[in-house]
Amino acid sequence: MSERQLPAIYPETQFYWDGAKEGKLLLNACTACGNRPFFPPRPFCPHCGSREVTVIEASGRGRLYSYIISNVPAPGYETPFTIAVVMLDEGVKLVSNIVDCPPDPEALELDMPLEVTFEQRGTLAVPQFRPAKGGAA
Protein backbone atom coordinates (compact mmCIF):
# COMPACT_ATOMS: atom_id res chain seq x y z
CA MET A 1 0.00 0.00 0.00
CA SER A 2 1.43 3.40 -0.93
CA GLU A 3 1.51 6.34 1.46
CA ARG A 4 -1.45 8.66 1.84
CA GLN A 5 -0.94 12.11 0.44
CA LEU A 6 -0.05 15.02 2.67
CA PRO A 7 -2.24 18.12 2.59
CA ALA A 8 -0.93 21.42 1.30
CA ILE A 9 -0.37 23.87 4.16
CA TYR A 10 -0.78 27.61 3.65
CA PRO A 11 -0.23 30.49 6.10
CA GLU A 12 -3.99 30.79 6.73
CA THR A 13 -4.28 27.04 7.51
CA GLN A 14 -1.09 26.63 9.57
CA PHE A 15 -2.97 27.00 12.90
CA TYR A 16 -5.30 24.15 11.90
CA TRP A 17 -2.43 21.72 11.25
CA ASP A 18 -0.48 22.88 14.33
CA GLY A 19 -3.59 22.18 16.44
CA ALA A 20 -4.04 18.75 14.86
CA LYS A 21 -0.45 17.86 15.85
CA GLU A 22 -1.53 18.58 19.45
CA GLY A 23 -4.71 16.50 19.12
CA LYS A 24 -6.96 19.56 18.83
CA LEU A 25 -9.55 20.31 16.17
CA LEU A 26 -9.31 24.08 15.63
CA LEU A 27 -11.73 26.27 13.71
CA ASN A 28 -11.93 29.91 12.76
CA ALA A 29 -14.71 31.97 14.29
CA CYS A 30 -15.90 35.47 13.41
CA THR A 31 -15.98 37.86 16.36
CA ALA A 32 -18.14 40.29 14.36
CA CYS A 33 -20.79 37.52 14.05
CA GLY A 34 -20.65 36.62 17.74
CA ASN A 35 -17.89 33.99 17.45
CA ARG A 36 -19.74 32.12 14.71
CA PRO A 37 -17.44 29.26 13.63
CA PHE A 38 -16.65 28.42 10.02
CA PHE A 39 -14.64 25.95 7.98
CA PRO A 40 -12.42 25.68 5.95
CA PRO A 41 -9.90 28.09 7.48
CA ARG A 42 -9.64 31.52 5.86
CA PRO A 43 -8.73 35.05 6.95
CA PHE A 44 -12.26 36.46 6.54
CA CYS A 45 -15.77 35.48 7.58
CA PRO A 46 -17.74 33.74 4.80
CA HIS A 47 -20.98 35.07 6.33
CA CYS A 48 -20.30 38.80 6.79
CA GLY A 49 -16.88 39.33 5.16
CA SER A 50 -15.29 40.64 8.37
CA ARG A 51 -11.59 40.08 8.97
CA GLU A 52 -12.25 39.98 12.73
CA VAL A 53 -11.41 36.28 12.87
CA THR A 54 -10.18 34.26 15.82
CA VAL A 55 -9.37 30.60 16.49
CA ILE A 56 -11.47 28.34 18.71
CA GLU A 57 -11.10 24.72 19.76
CA ALA A 58 -13.96 22.52 18.57
CA SER A 59 -15.36 19.78 20.77
CA GLY A 60 -14.31 17.11 18.27
CA ARG A 61 -17.85 15.72 18.28
CA GLY A 62 -20.34 15.67 15.47
CA ARG A 63 -22.77 13.59 13.45
CA LEU A 64 -22.63 11.80 10.12
CA TYR A 65 -24.32 14.19 7.70
CA SER A 66 -23.62 12.36 4.44
CA TYR A 67 -21.18 9.83 3.02
CA ILE A 68 -20.04 7.82 0.05
CA ILE A 69 -18.28 4.50 0.00
CA SER A 70 -15.47 4.77 -2.52
CA ASN A 71 -14.32 1.81 -4.56
CA VAL A 72 -11.95 3.97 -6.57
CA PRO A 73 -8.29 3.35 -5.72
CA ALA A 74 -6.54 6.24 -4.00
CA PRO A 75 -2.92 6.38 -2.77
CA GLY A 76 -2.70 4.83 0.70
CA TYR A 77 -6.33 3.68 0.91
CA GLU A 78 -7.61 0.16 0.57
CA THR A 79 -10.95 0.02 -1.18
CA PRO A 80 -13.63 0.33 -0.15
CA PHE A 81 -13.29 3.30 2.21
CA THR A 82 -15.69 5.92 3.52
CA ILE A 83 -15.60 9.61 2.66
CA ALA A 84 -17.97 11.57 4.86
CA VAL A 85 -19.42 14.98 5.48
CA VAL A 86 -19.41 15.50 9.24
CA MET A 87 -21.64 18.11 10.89
CA LEU A 88 -19.70 19.27 13.93
CA ASP A 89 -21.55 20.15 17.13
CA GLU A 90 -20.35 23.71 16.46
CA GLY A 91 -22.59 23.83 13.37
CA VAL A 92 -20.00 23.57 10.59
CA LYS A 93 -19.52 20.77 8.07
CA LEU A 94 -16.24 19.27 7.02
CA VAL A 95 -15.20 16.44 4.73
CA SER A 96 -13.18 13.64 6.27
CA ASN A 97 -12.88 9.88 6.40
CA ILE A 98 -14.69 7.52 8.72
CA VAL A 99 -12.35 5.06 10.44
CA ASP A 100 -12.91 2.19 12.89
CA CYS A 101 -16.20 1.43 11.14
CA PRO A 102 -16.85 -0.90 8.20
CA PRO A 103 -17.47 0.88 4.88
CA ASP A 104 -20.94 -0.62 4.71
CA PRO A 105 -24.37 1.07 4.64
CA GLU A 106 -25.45 -1.33 7.41
CA ALA A 107 -22.80 0.20 9.71
CA LEU A 108 -23.05 3.83 8.58
CA GLU A 109 -26.22 5.43 9.84
CA LEU A 110 -26.96 9.05 8.97
CA ASP A 111 -26.89 11.25 12.08
CA MET A 112 -24.78 8.68 13.97
CA PRO A 113 -22.57 10.30 16.64
CA LEU A 114 -18.91 10.69 15.68
CA GLU A 115 -15.74 11.82 17.39
CA VAL A 116 -12.47 13.07 16.00
CA THR A 117 -9.32 11.02 15.99
CA PHE A 118 -6.00 11.94 14.42
CA GLU A 119 -4.07 9.91 11.85
CA GLN A 120 -0.31 10.47 11.81
CA ARG A 121 1.10 11.09 8.34
CA GLY A 122 4.78 11.76 8.72
CA THR A 123 5.09 14.91 10.84
CA LEU A 124 1.41 15.82 10.34
CA ALA A 125 -1.72 14.67 12.12
CA VAL A 126 -4.86 14.54 9.97
CA PRO A 127 -8.32 14.72 11.59
CA GLN A 128 -10.49 11.68 10.86
CA PHE A 129 -13.76 10.59 12.49
CA ARG A 130 -14.93 7.37 14.11
CA PRO A 131 -18.14 6.29 15.79
CA ALA A 132 -18.38 7.95 19.20
CA LYS A 133 -17.60 5.68 22.12
CA GLY A 134 -20.79 4.82 23.94
CA GLY A 135 -22.79 6.05 20.94
CA ALA A 136 -23.18 9.62 22.26
CA ALA A 137 -21.57 12.63 20.70
- Residue 126 confidence (pLDDT) above 70: yes
Rounded Cα–Cα distance for residues 52 and 98 (Å) = 33
Examine the pLDDT at 1 and tell me if it is beyond 50.
Answer: no
Amino acid sitting at position 134: G
Mean confidence (pLDDT) of the chain = 94
Dmax (CA) for the chain in angstroms is 46
Phi, psi of 46 (to 5 degrees): -75, -10
Is the pLDDT at 136 greater than 80? The verdict is: no
- Specify the pTM: 0.91
Q: Give the integer Cα–Cα distance in Å for 115 and 137.
A: 7
Whole-number pLDDT of residue 6: 87
In the predicted model, is pLDDT for residue 2 greater than 60?
Answer: no
- On whether the CB atoms of residues 60 and 90 are closer than 8 A, the answer is no
